[in-house]
């Protein structure tokens, strides 16, 4: 039958229509199933059924919400197999159905919360060997692409026997398109580490890949290292990977190279280069500063045969420059080092080594050391550590030997063979050698010897199950060992027997030992333990430590121990510069192996500078390897006692020490000033601080204290001082320069401290301090109302943070008289508050200190200052504001200023001093009132003073020439002066231009008022004028201006000269003004006078008269009122004329003196000076015989006299004797040229 084409078309059309309808029906039914929650649950149930049919596998779902074609939530998902159990608390997924039509499966988000993966390893059959020609991975690409925009895994726990891992958060985006798998935005967070990165992987044979990761490990690799971090890059495939890694924390270290994995049939091998430009190892790891510069390391080969080479420059506290190289080979379970070398500028250490891990640990190291200056490394370390260097001199050290180590399951064996040791100790040869071996807790020493010139040490024997050990030291010349060390030292001993029945005997002696400031005349030690009897003795004679101002010494010390292991007694007798001690301790070992000892201080006495103390009852002591207990340790001095309890235990490897105690009825009078009673040239050492001589305290103090010290915790301390009936007495100082009969009994004032308290506490690393007391005036046993109070509260944290405040309110300031002896009747009230903050390194202060209505009488000035008001304020460390005012008589003085940055080196002061007729001095000989207008600025480099100083009143009456009025020569500079001539300290030639070593620069105008007069030595005057005083930083003092003698009179030898129009002109030096003075006298119808000019240090005088008279008559009339021809031989007229010639510094004085000499019949008469009028000397002389000449000289101003005798023995030899301030006898020989 032949079918027509139209029929075929109809059948085909109907068939296709049926298939399409069937497909459509299937899609509609599938959509209805997947798009509904019941349908989705039905599908997941079918999936679970299929999985559960597989052997050993189970899958189940809990509640399901949502659909498979939209948002889906699964809870309580559980999957298990023979070796794996996975439970998931919740899965949330969001599917994108339209992506299916573009051949993509898109999951915008997938979140997995609360997963636990537990793996139980199962024994597995060995995998069959793979043919390298077979592909490693066969992956058929999926027909659709997979896209996961965001995958989040939270709280994932992985467990397997002996291992547990917690993953806090994992997030990434992934896609699979054909064979290309990409993972981007990878972020993993866990308790141990964080990882970020991306991955590109081709699912083809050997998995070509490209991986980049940045990681951070949160734990410390070693103490103090901080977290570790780095970057890793992998490229290639599983046959060969290119590795590049850089460690960035805690130091910089790079590794780069190729790894042949062996997957392709080749052996596993690697070739990686490592390096670091500068690698500084933390001191917590090495104990010293150690830096590796230009580090390079090469690793080549397989894991069973790996060649290793390393080279680096070392920089450390021991040596600033060293080169270290290693060449070795790792052979599976052993390491061989063919050579290593450490080379420095002064030596080398080289050798070889081996390490075998096949059976336990077996290693050996051969070394060869050559070093010219070995102590330099220790010196460098000490210098970096800030401690002193060693005085040893060890050079040219060389040594060779071998160190071995062998460990087994229960054994440890180590040995050091010292083949050769040589060097130079100072100027003496050093030699040594021997062998030391450790085996299972026993020590064997085989003829170990060390010799340095005349000094020798030898040790030999064994300390094991059988004891046979001895030593011998002979050092008759300790100076050969160390510069500065002196003395003779000898020691010997032996140990024999068994550990349970040990026999020991030893001796040691040191004679004439000295090192630097320490010395000991003799030291003897003898000890023996024989047949269970213990006998030991230590004897010291004259051990001393000398410092600049004292010598601390132990004159004698005797310590004797005798008895048996279970019952023995120790006695101590010591005599020292701090006092004497006598102690007797009894007790015994209850378990010698455990070092358990029980005993007591049976008797004790101490004689010290702080009193004599003794025990009144036995003090029990208990000692063990992990405990110490001392209770009821009480010492008494009359009614005062000090008790201390100590308990220490170390039961858990963490030592804890607890200390507590009390002090009762301790007399505070021990802190009062003590008159020194020297017992030797260095004085008696003082263990207590003492109050000043003018302050004393009476009363008693109780105290309670406790402390807990633990190595793993911060200390805890609690202390309280409770003073009782404390009376503080302040006395005025006694003027020791006055004769004892003229000294005034000092005034004294007493205050009672009311409710005083001192407390300190350390807790959680923070110190808390508190001090509080009230003050009341005590008088004849009664106490006046409160005179004030003081309170301090402060804390210091472990980090150094400060916090606290201090308050004071004092209504009675009479106690200041003890510290200001020249002031009396001190009154006023003082209030203060200081707030403390910041840290120890940078403290901050805010303060407000005020003195209100103060007053004081200053006896040496003869004035009483009243209405004294002062205030010092600051809000922080940046500025302190100052203000003060004071009245005196009818005048006042005011100070205002500020100090910027007061606690920095850049501190700066600005102040203004103003006043009006302030009475500064009011004494019979001196009255001064000032009206200043001064500005003061200061910093670390200089003090500047500028402005005007008006002196409205200055009345000075000189009754004797002040010591400072006689200056030294202008070409002399005073750098020191004898104690009997203190006036030189104020000489013009001395340095006076600094205050607290800070130069003073001044530009001040001195303006004299209407009431300025100078009187003394017959001279009266009224002075006016102005001066400008300029002082430079180098001490130069320049003065400019003019002083006028408005009127004046000068009386000498009963005669009066009138001064009119005198002037002193200052052109620089203050001590040498120019003079222009005219003095006249009228006698009958004759007017005579003297015109003085020049300078003070070079006065030129010229006589004049009306009518004109000879100079002799003028000077005679000036001095005596009579002409020269009327002068007689009387001493009064003669002295008047001579004094006038000298005092007036007259020109042509030589002619006048010759005229007087002839009138008096003398062989010699001269007036000389050596640098000024104050050095003028009058000398008269007379020949007693032609060969004997006697002369007498007297200073006209300093009144020092001398008598001299010249005896002419020959024409060239003269014997000259002189007596006066100094005595001398000279023999003079003359040579004519």
Query: How far from chain centre, in Å, is Cα 993?
Result: 34
Q: What is the pLDDT of residue 125?
A: 55
Q: What percent of the chain has pLDDT over 90?
A: 25
385/481 Cα distance (integer angstroms) = 25
The average pLDDT across 384-410 equals 78
Model pLDDT, residue 1055? 66
Q: Is residue 1224 part of a domain?
A: yes
Among 268-282, 656-670, 986-1000, the minimum mean pLDDT is found in 986-1000
- Which run of H or of E encompasses 51? helix 37-52
Residue 1087 banded pLDDT, cuts 50, 70, 90: confident
Where does the pLDDT of residue 495 fall: very low under 50, low under 70, confident under 90, or very high at 90 and above?
very high
Q: What is the pLDDT of residues 206-222, one digit of tens each?
A: 888 899 999 999 888 77
pLDDT at 59: 85
CA atoms of 766 and 798, how far apart (whole Å): 6
3-class SS of residue 1124: helix
Residue 504 neighbours by CB distance under 10 Å: 17
Nearest Cα neighbor of 731 from 668, 819, 825 is 819
Lowest-confidence segment of 30-44, 250-264, 490-504, 746-760 by average pLDDT: 30-44
Rounded to whole angstroms, how far apart are CA atoms 71 and 65?
8
CA angle 594, 596, 601 (to 5 degrees): 160
pLDDT tens digit string along 437-457? 988 788 899 999 999 999 999
Tens of pLDDT, residue by residue over 148-160, are: 888 898 988 888 8
Q: Is the pLDDT of residue 461 over 70?
A: yes
Task: Examine the pLDDT at 984 and tell me if it is beyond 50.
Answer: no
Give the pLDDT mean for 692-708: 87
* pLDDT for residue 989: 40
Q: Could you give the CA distance from residue 899 to residue 882 in angstroms, rounded to a whole number?
A: 8
* Residue 1167 and residue 1157 share a domain: no
pLDDT range class, residue 946, cuts 50, 70, 90: very high
1152 and 1074 together in one domain: yes
Same-domain check for residues 1079 and 1227: no
pLDDT at 680: 38
Can you give the pLDDT at residue 736? 63
Instruction: Supply the angle between the helices 1111-1120 and 1149-1160 in degrees, to the nearest 10.
Output: 70
- Tokens standing for residue 964: 């400072």
Pair 93, 192 in one domain: yes
Clarify whether residues 1111 and 1176 are in a common domain: no
Average the pLDDT over 472-476 and give the result.
Answer: 94
pLDDT per residue as tens digits for the range 1206-1226:
877 667 778 787 876 666 767
Residue 632 domain flag: no
Question: Does a structural domain hold residue 514?
Answer: no
Comparing C-alpha atoms, which of 1087, 1074, 929 is closest to residue 1007?
929
* Token reading at 685: 């050492």
pLDDT at 1194 over 70: no
Alpha helices, DSSP H, located in 499-591: none
What residues have CB less than 8 Å from 696, skipping those under 6 apart? 669, 672, 673, 728, 729, 731
Contact 912, 897 (CB under 8 A): yes
Structure tokens at 1200: 């020092």
Report the distance separating Cα 109 and Cα 148, nearest Å: 7
302-306, 568-572, 642-646, 1191-1195, range with the lowest pLDDT:
1191-1195
Which range, of 175-184, 281-290, 926-935, 959-968, averages the lowest pLDDT? 959-968
Distance CA 422, CA 754 (A): 74
Q: What are phi and psi of 637, to 5 degrees?
A: -135, 100
Span of 557-566, 587-596, 1133-1142 with lowest mean pLDDT: 1133-1142
Asked if residue 370 has pLDDT above 90, the reply is yes
581 contacts: CB under 8 Å, gap ≥ 6: 572, 573, 574, 604, 605, 606, 607
Q: Rounded to whole angstroms, how far apart are CA atoms 406 and 361? A: 6
Q: What's the confidence (pLDDT) of residue 987? A: 45
**Where is mean pLDDT largest: 36-45, 615-624, 1210-1219?**
615-624
Q: For residue 368, what pLDDT band results from cuts at 50, 70 and 90?
A: very high
Q: Which two tokens stand for residue 866?
A: 């009243």
> Above 50 in pLDDT, residue 684?
no
- For residue 1081, tell me if it sits in a domain: yes
Distance CA 718, CA 695 (A): 30
Under 8 Å CB-to-CB from 245, ≥6 apart: which residues? 230, 231, 232, 233, 254, 255, 256
Q: Is the pLDDT of residue 409 over 80?
A: no
1088 lies in a domain? yes
> What value, to the nearest 5°, has the Cα angle with vertex 283 and ends 281 and 288?
100
What span, in angstroms and rounded, lies between the C-alpha atoms of 1124 and 1116? 5
Distance, in Å, from the CA atom of 370 to the CA atom of 344, rounded to the nearest integer, reads: 10
Instruction: State the Cα–Cα distance between residues 951 and 921, nearest whole angstrom.
Output: 12
Are 67 and 170 contained in the same domain? Answer: yes
Is 1102 found in the same domain as 1198?
A: no
Residue 615 clears pLDDT 60, i.e. is over it: yes
Helix (H, G, I), strand (E, B) or coil at 52: helix
| Range with the poorest average pLDDT among 74-78, 210-214, 245-249, 386-390 | 386-390
Strand-pair category, 104-119 with 145-160: parallel
Range from 179-193, 535-549, 650-664, 1088-1102 carrying the lowest mean pLDDT: 1088-1102
Which range among 285-294, 412-421, 732-741, 1116-1125 shows the weakest confidence by mean pLDDT?
Answer: 732-741
- Same-domain check for residues 42 and 93: yes
Q: Which of 151, 184, 205 is a domain's end point?
A: 205
- pTM (whole model) above 0.85: no
Q: Which residue has the higher pLDDT, 784 or 1193?
A: 1193
Query: How many Å from the N-terminal Cα to the C-terminal Cα in the chain?
Result: 178
pLDDT tens per residue, range 1064-1074: 888 888 778 88
The pLDDT value recorded for residue 1151 is 47
- For residue 161, what pLDDT is reported? 82
Q: Are 408 and 422 in contact (CB under 8 A)?
A: no
- pLDDT at residue 317 tops 80: no
pLDDT level of residue 893 (50, 70, 90 thresholds): very high
Specify whether the CB–CB gap between 976 and 1005 falls below 8 A: no
Q: Which of the residue ranges 382-386, 1049-1053, 1065-1069, 1191-1195 would you say has the lowest mean pLDDT?
A: 382-386
CA 485 to chain centre: 31
Confidence of residue 435 (pLDDT cuts 50, 70, 90): very high
Instruction: Please give the structure tokens belonging to residue 478.
Output: 């300790």
Domain end residue (candidates: 1127, 1161, 1195): 1161
Percent of the chain with pLDDT over 70: 80
Beta bridge partners of 297: 274, 310
pLDDT tops 60 at residue 387: no
Please provide residue 504's backbone torsions phi and psi, each rounded to the nearest 5 degrees: -135, 140
Q: Are 432 and 453 in contact (CB under 8 A)?
A: no
Our CA angle for 1167, 1173, 1179, nearest 5°, is 20
Cα–Cα distances in Å, from 244 out to 253, 275, 298, 736, 1055? Answer: 11, 12, 14, 88, 114
**Chain centroid, CA 1180 distance in Å:** 70
Query: Are residues 1101 and 1177 both part of a single domain?
Result: no
Residue 189 covered by a domain: yes
Phi first, then psi: give them for residue 553, nearest 5 degrees: -145, 150
The pair of structure tokens assigned to 34 is 């997947």
pLDDT at position 3, please?
A: 44
Q: Which domain holds residue 1138?
A: 1067-1161
**Residue 419, both tokens:** 């083949």
Angle between helices 5-34 and 37-52 (to 10 degrees): 90
State the alpha helices, DSSP H only, in 1073-1231: 1111-1120, 1131-1144, 1149-1160
pLDDT for 140: 67
Would residue 734 count as lying in a domain? no
Give the pLDDT score at 414: 92
Q: Which of 1104, 1135, 1161 is where one domain is finished? A: 1161
Q: Is residue 1168 domain-shared with residue 1153, that is, in the same domain?
A: no
Please tell me what DSSP assigns to residue 732: P
- Averaged pLDDT, 817-830: 80
920-944 residue pLDDT tens:
888 888 888 989 999 999 888 888 9
Cis check for the bond before 250: say yes or no (omega within 30 of 0): yes
pLDDT for the residue 375: 80
What is the β-pairing status of strands 943-958 and 998-1016?
parallel
Taking 80 as the threshold, does the pLDDT of residue 1120 lie above it? Answer: no
H/E segment holding residue 335: strand 334-344
Q: Can you tell me whether residue 973 is helix, strand or coil? A: coil
How far does CA 294 lie from the centroid of its chain?
36
**DSSP letter assigned to residue 440:** T
Encoded tokens for 465? 């199950």
Nearest-5° angle of CA 729, CA 735, CA 736? 110
pLDDT-based confidence at residue 965 (cuts at 50, 70, 90): very low
Residue 677 has pLDDT above 50, yes or no: no
Q: How, if at all, do strands 533-546 and 1074-1083 pair?
A: unpaired
Q: Are 1215 and 1190 in contact (CB under 8 A)?
A: no
Six token digits for residue 388: 């002193």
Please, which residues have CB within 8 angstroms of residue 719's CB and are 6 or more apart in sequence? 703, 704, 705, 706, 759, 760, 761
Cα-Cα-Cα-Cα torsion 805, 811, 814, 816, nearest 10 degrees, comes to: 20
Q: What is the 3-state secondary structure (H, E, C) of 364-425?
A: EEEEEEEECCCHHHHHHHHHHHCCCCCCCCEEEEEEEEEEEEEECCCCEEEEEEEEEEEEEE
Largest CA distance in the chain: 199
CA 1152-1156-1160 angle, to 5 degrees, is 170
In a domain, residue 332? The reply is: no
Q: Could you please report the per-residue DSSP string of 84-130?
A: EEEEEEEEEEEEEGGGGGGTEEEEEEEEEEEEEEEE-----PPPPPP
Q: What is the mean pLDDT of the chain?
A: 80
Whether residue 1168 sits in one domain with residue 1152: no
- The three-class DSSP label of residue 36 is coil
Please state the rounded mean pLDDT for residues 304-308: 89
The full length of the chain comes to 1233
**Number of structural domains, the chain?**
3
Query: Could you tell me if 1157 and 1174 lie in one domain?
Result: no
């Amino acid at each position: 039958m032949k079918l027509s084409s139209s029929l075929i078309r109809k059948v085909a059309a109907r068939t296709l229509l049926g298939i399409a309808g069937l497909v459509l029906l299937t899609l509609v039914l599938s959509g209805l199933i997947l798009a509904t929650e019941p349908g989705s649950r039905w599908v997941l149930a079918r999936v679970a059924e299929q999985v559960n049919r597989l052997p050993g596998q189970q899958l189940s779902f809990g509640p399901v919400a949502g659909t498979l074609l939209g948002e889906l939530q699964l809870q309580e998902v559980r999957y298990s197999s023979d070796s794996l159990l996975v439970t998931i608390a919740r899965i949330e997924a969001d599917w994108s159905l339209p992506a299916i039509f573009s051949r993509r499966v898109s999951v915008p988000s997938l979140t997995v919360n609360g997963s636990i993966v537990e793996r139980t390893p199962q024994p597995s059959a060995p995998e069959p060997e793979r043919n390298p020609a077979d592909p490693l991975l066969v992956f058929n690409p999926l027909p659709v692409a997979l896209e996961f925009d965001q995958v989040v895994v939270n709280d994932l726990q992985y467990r397997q026997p002996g291992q547990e891992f917690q993953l806090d958060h994992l997030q990434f985006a992934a896609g699979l398109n054909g064979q290309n798998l990409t993972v981007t935005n990878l972020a993993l967070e866990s308790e141990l580490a964080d990882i970020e990165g991306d991955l590109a992987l081709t699912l083809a044979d050997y998995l070509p890949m490209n991986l980049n990761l940045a990681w951070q490990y949160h734990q410390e690799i070693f103490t103090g290292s901080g977290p570790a971090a780095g970057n890793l890059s992998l490229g290639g495939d599983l046959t060969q990977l290119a590795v590049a890694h850089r460690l960035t924390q805690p130091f910089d270290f790079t590794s780069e190279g190729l790894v042949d994995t062996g997957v392709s049939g080749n052996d596993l091998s690697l070739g990686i280069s490592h390096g670091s430009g500068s690698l500084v190892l933390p001191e917590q790891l090495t104990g010293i500063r150690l830096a590796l510069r230009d580090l390079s390391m090469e690793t080549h080969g397989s894991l069973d045969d790996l060649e290793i080479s390393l080279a680096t420059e070392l920089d450390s506290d021991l040596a600033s420059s060293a080169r270290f190289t290693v060449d070795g080979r790792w052979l599976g379970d052993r390491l061989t080092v063919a050579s290593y070398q450490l080379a420095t500028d002064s030596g080398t250490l080289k050798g070889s080594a081996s390490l075998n891990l096949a059976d336990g640990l077996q290693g050996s190291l051969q070394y060869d050391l050559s070093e010219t200056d070995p102590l330099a490394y220790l010196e460098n370390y000490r210098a970096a550590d800030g401690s002193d260097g060693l005085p040893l001199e060890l050079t040219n050290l060389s040594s060779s030997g071998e160190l071995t180590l062998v460990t087994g399951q229960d054994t440890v064996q180590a040995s050091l063979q010292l083949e050769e040791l040589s060097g130079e100790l100072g100027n003496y040869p050093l030699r040594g050698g021997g062998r030391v071996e450790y085996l299972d807790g026993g020590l064997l020493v085989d003829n170990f010897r060390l010799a340095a010139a005349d000094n020798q040490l030898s040790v030999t024997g064994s300390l094991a199950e059988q004891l046979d050990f001895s030593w011998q030291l002979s050092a008759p010349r300790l100076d050969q060992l160390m510069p500065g060390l002196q003395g003779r030292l000898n020691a010997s001993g032996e140990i024999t027997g068994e550990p349970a029945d040990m026999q020991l005997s030893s001796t040691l002696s040191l004679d004439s030992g000295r090192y630097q400031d320490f010395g000991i005349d003799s030291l003897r030690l003898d000890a023996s333990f024989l047949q269970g009897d213990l006998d030991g003795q230590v004897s010291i004679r004259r051990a001393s430590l000398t410092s600049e101002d004292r010598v601390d010494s132990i004159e004698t010390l005797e310590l004797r121990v005798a008895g048996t292991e279970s019952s023995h007694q120790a006695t101590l007798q010591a005599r020292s510069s701090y006092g004497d001690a006598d102690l007797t301790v009894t007790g015994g070992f209850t378990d010698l192996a455990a070092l358990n000892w029980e005993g007591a201080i049976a008797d004790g006495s101490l004689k010290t500078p702080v009193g004599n103390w003794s025990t009144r009852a036995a003090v029990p002591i208990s000692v063990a390897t992990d405990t110490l207990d001392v209770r009821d340790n009480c010492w008494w001095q009359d009614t005062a006692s000090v008790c201390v309890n100590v308990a220490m235990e170390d039961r858990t490897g963490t030592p804890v020490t607890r200390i507590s105690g009390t002090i009762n009825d301790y007399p505070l009078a021990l802190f009062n000033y003590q008159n020194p009673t020297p017992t030797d040239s260095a004085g008696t050492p003082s263990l207590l601080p003492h109050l000043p001589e003018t302050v004393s305290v009476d009363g008693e103090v109780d105290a309670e204290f406790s402390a807990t010290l633990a190595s793993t915790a911060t200390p805890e301390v609690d202390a309280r001082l409770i003073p009782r009936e404390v009376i503080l007495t302040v006395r005025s100082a006694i003027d020791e320069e006055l004769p004892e009969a003229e000294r005034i009994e000092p005034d004294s004032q007493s205050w009672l401290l009311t409710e005083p308290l001192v407390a300190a506490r350390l807790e959680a690393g923070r110190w808390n301090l508190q001090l509080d007391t009230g003050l009341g005036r005590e008088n004849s046993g009664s106490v006046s109302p409160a005179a004030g109070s003081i309170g301090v509260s402060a804390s210091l944290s472990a980090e150094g943070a400060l916090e606290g405040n201090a308050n004071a309110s004092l209504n009675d300031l009479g106690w200041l008289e003890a510290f200001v002896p020249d002031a009396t009747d001190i009154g006023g009230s003082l209030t203060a508050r200081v707030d403390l903050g910041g840290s120890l390194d940078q403290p901050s202060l805010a303060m407000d200190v005020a003195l209100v209505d103060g007053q004081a009488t200053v006896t040496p000035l003869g004035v009483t200052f009243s209405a004294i008001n002062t205030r010092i304020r600051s809000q922080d460390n940046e500025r302190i504001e100052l203000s003060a005012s004071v009245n005196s008589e009818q005048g006042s003085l005011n100070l205002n200023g500020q100090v910027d940055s007061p606690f920095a080196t850049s501190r700066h002061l600005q102040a203004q001093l103003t006043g009006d007729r302030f009475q500064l001095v009011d004494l019979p000989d001196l009255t001064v009132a000032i009206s200043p207008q001064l500005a003061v600025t200061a910093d670390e480099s200089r003090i500047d003073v500028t402005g005007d100083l008006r002196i409205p009143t200055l009345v000075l009456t000189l009754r004797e020439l002040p010591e400072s009025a006689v200056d030294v020569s202008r070409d002399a500079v005073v750098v020191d002066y004898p104690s009997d001539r203190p006036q030189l300290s104020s000489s013009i030639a001395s340095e006076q231009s600094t205050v607290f070593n800070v130069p003073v620069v001044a530009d001040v105008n001195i303006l004299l008022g209407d009431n300025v007069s100078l009187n003394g030595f017959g001279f009266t005057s009224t002075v006016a004028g102005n001066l400008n005083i300029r002082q430079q930083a180098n001490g130069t003092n320049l003065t400019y201006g003019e002083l006028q003698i408005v009127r004046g009179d000068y009386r000498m030898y009963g005669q009066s000269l009138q001064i009119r129009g005198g002037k002193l002109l200052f052109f620089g030096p203050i001590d040498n003004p120019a003079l222009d003075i005219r003095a006249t006298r009228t006698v009958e119808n004759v007017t005579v006078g003297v015109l003085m000019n020049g300078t003070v240090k070079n006065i030129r005088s010229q006589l004049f008269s009306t009518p004109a008279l000879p100079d002799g008559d003028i000077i005679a009339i000036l001095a005596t009122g009579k002409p020269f021809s009327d002068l007689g031989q009387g001493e009064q007229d003669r002295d008047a004329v001579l004094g006038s010639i000298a005092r007036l510094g007259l020109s042509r004085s030589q002619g006048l003196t010759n005229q007087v000499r002839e009138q008096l019949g003398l062989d010699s008469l001269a007036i000389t000076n050596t640098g000024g009028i104050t050095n003028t000397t009058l000398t008269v002389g007379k020949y007693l015989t032609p060969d004997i000449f006697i002369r007498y000289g007297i200073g006209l101003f300093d009144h020092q006299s001398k008598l001299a005798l010249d005896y002419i023995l020959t024409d060239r030899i003269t014997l000259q004797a002189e007596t006066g301030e100094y005595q001398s006898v000279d023999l003079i020989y003359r040579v004519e040229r």
